[in-house]
Amino acid sequence: MLKTRIVTALVLLAVLLPVLYSNNPTAFAVVASVFFGAAIWECFRLFNPGAKSAVAIAVAWTLAFAYAFFMREQGDPTFWFAIGALLWALRFAPTLKLGLPPLASTPNTLLSLLYAISLVACFAAIVMLFQYSALFLLSVLVIVWSADIFAYVCGKTFGKNKLAPSISPGKSWEGAIGGGIVTVLLASLTVLFGGEALANTFAVRVQASFGWAGMLGVIALIVVASVVGDLFESQLKRRAGMKDSSNLLPGHGGVLDRIDALVPVLPLAALIATRL
């Protein structure tokens, strides 16, 4: 399993990094649309396990996404970022406490559509952040990856109090808080010692615009949002009786398993970026 995970990760890096740094809009559009389509397909499978229409739905949503964000002149995408942030704050985050509706119900169908809209907001944010620069987009991703990695390390080392035992028993408060603290420290070190090489990264730009208190608050907010996104997808998988959102990425599960923490974060980061 470890070997499979490593091979898959290397293949993904071999595909994604050249696309990000090739300055080829067509290649970026194709890759972004493919990943969006995979995420939408997994989304509708999680909300309606066994549904035979998931592929057709995913194709329709992907064509609409590609047309809206790559085949026509783009307007102001801020609307999508605001919608994404509001959906997570007002609808998805409360679900962690209130629970999900039954699978075979109208509220569940509506919730699936809202989650699909949040995926549109997430990938619209990817498009916008990439337009700032590949480094700027990666710097946001690194914040989330750092929070996840160090939450795992701190949880394994210090974890005693379960964060959400009914959703994801392996996560602890100590892990989440420890991951957040380490991530804030790393962001601070980037600002202090990054120099010209990291001048166009998210944390540095936020600090320059909002000061230290603003930067620390934004990074902390992003860490919290990443935890919420991770837990929400875990809640969907537990209800659907699935270990992974799919088997598209051998050793890693599905696309949603890799981006679950990013879905609420990227629209929020993009919304903040419009103010830098």
Band of residue 180 on the pLDDT scale cut at 50, 70, 90: very high
Q: Distance between CA 98 and CA 248 in Å, rounded?
A: 31
Q: Are the C-beta atoms of residues 128 and 276 closer than 8 Å to each other? A: no
Q: Distance between CA 25 and CA 15 in Å, rounded?
A: 15
Residue 275 φ then ψ, to 5°: -105, 0
In this prediction the pTM is 0.94
Q: Are the C-beta atoms of residues 240 and 46 closer than 8 Å to each other? A: yes
Q: Distance between CA 107 and CA 146 in Å, rounded?
A: 35
Band of residue 51 on the pLDDT scale cut at 50, 70, 90: confident
Q: Are the C-beta atoms of residues 173 and 161 closer than 8 Å to each other? A: yes
Stretch 132-149: mean pLDDT, rounded?
95
Q: How far is CA 262 from CA 71, 155, 176, in A?
A: 25, 20, 16
pLDDT at 1: 59
Sign of CA dihedral 75, 78, 83, 84: positive
Band of residue 75 on the pLDDT scale cut at 50, 70, 90: low
